[in-house]
Amino acid sequence: MHWNKKFECMPLDQLKAFQLKNLKKTVAWVFDKVPFYTRKFKKLGISANDLKHIDDISKLPFTVKNDLRDNYPFGLCALPMDDIIGIHASSGTTGTPITNVYTQADLDQWAECVARNLWAYGVRKKDIVQNAYGYGLFTGGLGLHYGLLKIGCSIIPTSSGITERQVKLLKDFKPTALCSTPSYALTIAEKAEEMNIDIRKLPLKIGIFGAEPWTREMCSAIEERMGITALNIFGLTEMCGPGVGYECSVGQNGSHINEDHFIAEILDTKTFKPVPMGEKGELVFTSIQRQAMPLIRYRTKDITRFIPEKCSCGRTFVKIDRIFGRTDDMLIISGVNIFPSQIESFLFDIKEVDPQYRLIVRKKGYLDKLIVQVEARQEVYDKGEETRKQVEAKINSHIKDNIGISVDVNLVKPKFIGRSLGKAVRVVDER
């Protein structure tokens, strides 16, 4: 059940002592090796010696995404490039990409974290795993690959794309697990239906999905269409990639954080003080074992909460809930804060539509207007304009009843919205 019981089930007092020891080492390391942190710590008059308790992490400065962009590509690297054997980067679709670099020890730690994830999901050496995350600069494909290698199972490194081939390999190679983004899993299921292949009758039993926020409703839809157990893998490029957190076998309820590698905080989005256990706030991470590019108090902008209940799986690692949204993805329409994940959950309540949608934000005079574009099921679309208008009104009413504002709903034909091979584009801002 546990890949590394020594750490995953470590008594909390020992875990906190381990975190403090490694936090102090990391702070001393970046103070000495990274000019960016040297300047920050000197400005605050703080050093590793000022950390007497794990809560003293609040004395340390934050790191934000613009700090990584301002120091692109390797300004936050703590070692000369001669010591670096791996380089990854985010997609960079909204500006300068975010880079991350790795020593051999960093890659070994990454593989360890991912292996824990996979083991908790039930992946074993006898399994065949189809890895449909993108290989290359994106951390998803190779991150999962390293963990799969550590377990020793058979790997089908399909990467993303050529969806018809993905379905053919599911049928011919008979993998027992699939790794991809959740939105791409739905695309694979859709393609299989077009090819008259019932994935539910194949040996596939586990789906390992992440790299984008997805609701419990989407999880249920994937499980129903593919006949599998869909599990969430949590990570971010800035820490290492996938493997920062993982769901266990208990109820698919939240992700354990690998706390021997990452210290997690959840802070009030205005005061940046810790919120009470169980309340929502912004997720902040500090890496405490990395060599090449450890980050101090990195603000993820993800909104979540710690789950206060002790997990019956025996792991003492703290659990976070699914990501509810991001502070930079939050839309403010008529004074109401809206996250794309909220709209997604409402759409799953409407049986006449498929879970393919896009939110378009436009100006209407001095105000912002939200358009919800969603695909109708084929049989609904074929009934004509009057039926489509009834469904649009039904969706608008459901959203208004839940969040208090009206939106423009645009029911479109099946396959109208472009399919993504990786992270789905859910928001288009035309302002």
Nearest CA to 217 out of 230, 228, 203, 198 is that of 230
Share of the chain above pLDDT 90, in %: 81
Q: What are phi and psi of 172, to 5 degrees?
A: -85, -40
Structure confidence at residue 261 as a pLDDT band (50, 70, 90): very high
CATH classification of 331-429, choosing from 3.40.47.10, 3.30.390.50, 3.40.50.1820, 3.30.300.30?
3.30.300.30
Structure confidence at residue 355 as a pLDDT band (50, 70, 90): confident
pLDDT number for residue 402: 87
Round to whole Å and give the CA distance between 348 and 86: 40
Total-model pTM:
0.85
Round to whole Å and give the CA distance between 32 and 407: 53
Check residue 200 and report its DSSP letter.
Answer: G
Cis omega (within 30 of 0) on the bond before 294?
A: no
- pLDDT tens digits, one per residue of 364-389: 665 678 999 999 999 999 999 999 99
Sign of CA dihedral 241, 245, 247, 248: positive
- pLDDT tens digits, one per residue of 144-172: 999 999 999 999 999 998 999 999 999 99
pLDDT number for residue 352: 95
pLDDT number for residue 328: 77
CATH classification of 1-327, choosing from 3.40.50.12780, 2.60.40.2580, 1.10.645.10, 2.40.10.10?
3.40.50.12780
Give the residue extent of every domain in the chain: 1-327, 331-429
Share of the chain above pLDDT 70, in %: 97
Domains 1-327 and 331-429 share a fold: no
